[in-house]
Amino acid sequence: MSNATQLIHSIPTDPLTGALSVPIYQTSTFVQEAPGVNRGYDYARSNNPTRATLETLIATLEKGQVAAAFGSGLAAIDAVVKLLKTGDEILAVDDIYGGAFRLFTQVYEKFGIKVNYVDTTNVDNVLNAITPNTKLIWLETPTNPTLKISDIKAIASIAKDNACLLCVDNTFASPALQQPLTLGADLVVHSATKYLGGHSDLIAGIVVAKEKELGAKIKFLQNATGAILGPFDSWLVIRGIETLHLRIQQHSRNAQAVAEFLETHPAVQKVFYPGLASHQNHEIAKKQSKGFGGIVSFTLKTDTEDAAIKFVTSTQYFKLAESLGGIKSLVSHPANMTHKSIPADKRRAAGVADSLIRLSVGLEEAEDLIEDLKAAFIHLENNSTFSHKNNLVTSIST
């Protein structure tokens, strides 16, 4: 869906009452006329009208046939892994979300599902790592937190040739920027906690399937294992999606300005943002997405955890927190936060340096965000105990 008018009007008004906003059907069950005779709903784990509206909406946005909403992004990822059986292998991007790594290694390895991690930015690595047992290729693009971009179309064709599924975690781009199913992927997953929700006020996950048959398997797992999204959180995600296109455009504009500023700063070693010409995958990013999103990462010339911690604890507008994709800017130190569960050598090898700092650039004025970063760099250089954040708190409280 390319058009805001289409998006806004694909959210239906309530046929029963005419309510303009989608009603929240806060119910566990539905009255039946006779056993098995109902209006399409019998029990709210199996189906709920509010959740169904969200699922139809996101399926439309991602150009898929079927969507299923889960209680978290990880529950959505979990449902996709459950399509596999003992002996099957996953080929996954090496710079993978820490929670997905933990799920694959600490939960599914003991059930006999093996995972091979490769740098998927090089398509040959994918080709070389495929075995007869590879049944699922797992991509994140852009990746978290070093914003690597993989060629979805090229990898989709490898998946097809080798009879395995391609699933793309589209959390960072969102369907407003990138639609993996149109590039040949079979499945898309989202942490709707991030840009789809957009306001840092919920935890939710989505799986979208390109084909009906695969979608039915996901829906079966959603009902059989039960990690559904509740009606109120479904409603919040719908409400978030209503402004997704606008938000993503502004997140991208702000992030581009922040990335360009960081690239000129003498204390910065390297900036990771697909919208920079210096980004190693800039060309493929331009080809497969409509914009570059709101996440920017960078490393410091002083490549130590201490320096990074000093930086991330001194910003004022960039709040130190896990997560991303909300209207308020956030800063994080992946080595100690989202990627803590990945062993240090593996983490560094995947490009998550000790001083790597990740910004989720929000919807504040770009100039204010840049001023905030400038002040944090001064704090870093001064090597003093002065913090402009503390200064601010003092000035408010006095």
Ligand X SMILES: *Cc1c(COP(=O)(O)O)cnc(C)c1O
Site of tokens 């992927």? 185
Q: 274: which 2 tokens?
A: 């697909």
As a three-state string, the secondary structure of 306-357 is HHHHHHHCCCCCCEECCCCCCCCCEEECHHHCCCCCCCHHHHHHCCCCCCCE
Instruction: Report the nearest approach of ligand X to the CB of residue 203 (Å).
Output: 5
Q: Which residues have a Cβ under 8 Å from the Cβ of 136 and sit 6 or more positions away? A: 80, 81, 83, 84, 88, 89, 90, 91, 164, 165, 166, 167
Cα-trace Rg, the chain: 22
Q: Which is nearer to ligand X, 120 or 316 (CB)?
A: 120
Query: In the annotation, is 45 catalytic?
Result: yes
Q: Measured from the CB of residue 391, what is the shortest distance to ligand X in angstroms?
A: 32
Binding-site ranges for ligand X (CB under 6 A)? 72-74, 97, 99-100, 140, 144, 169, 171-172, 191, 193-194, 203, 205
Taking the complex as a whole, the smallest distance from the CB of residue 210 to ligand X amounts, in Å, to 19
Which CB atom, from 140 or from 316, has the smaller least distance to ligand X? 140
Least distance from ligand X to the Cβ atom of residue 169, Å: 5
Contact 184, 166 (CB under 8 A): yes
Catalytic option among 51, 78, 97, 186: 97
Of the residues 78, 169, 354, 372, only one is catalytic, namely 169
Is 135 noted as a catalytic residue in this protein?
no
Say if residues 293 and 141 touch (Cβ distance below 8 Å).
no
179/387 with CB nearer ligand X = 179
Q: Which is nearer to ligand X, 23 or 99 (CB)?
A: 99
User: Which C-beta is closer to ligand X: that of 92 or that of 369?
Assistant: 92
User: Annotated catalytic residue: which of 51, 135, 148, 194?
Assistant: 194
Strand order in the sheet with 268-272: 268-272, 295-300, 357-360, 330-332, 319-320
Shortest distance (Å) from residue 140 CB to ligand X: 5
Residue 233 annotated to the active site:
no
Residues across the chain = 398
The smaller minimum CB distance to ligand X, of residues 44 and 93, is found at: 93
Given the residues 45, 114, 328, 348, the one annotated as active site:
45
User: In sequence order, what are the residues at sequence separation of 6 or more whose Cβ sits closer than 8 angstroms to the Cβ of residue 42?
Assistant: 29, 30, 32
Are 174 and 181 spatial neighbours (Cβ–Cβ below 8 Å)?
no
In whole angstroms, the minimum distance from the beta carbon of 188 to ligand X comes to 12
Residue type, 337: M
From residue 398, give the alpha-carbon distance in Å to each of 298, 393, 395.
35, 9, 5
> What residue number has its CB nearest to ligand X?
73
Shorter beta-carbon distance to ligand X: residue 49 or 291: 291
Residue labelled with tokens 């889960």: 70
Comparing C-alpha atoms, which of 56, 35, 6 is closest to residue 219? 56
Question: What is the DSSP-derived secondary structure letter of residue 181?
Answer: G
CB of 129 to ligand X, least distance (A): 21
Helix (H, G, I), strand (E, B) or coil at 65: coil
Q: Has 169 been annotated as catalytic?
A: yes
Question: Which residue type sits at 386?
Answer: F
Which amino acids are annotated catalytic?
A: 45, 97, 169, 194
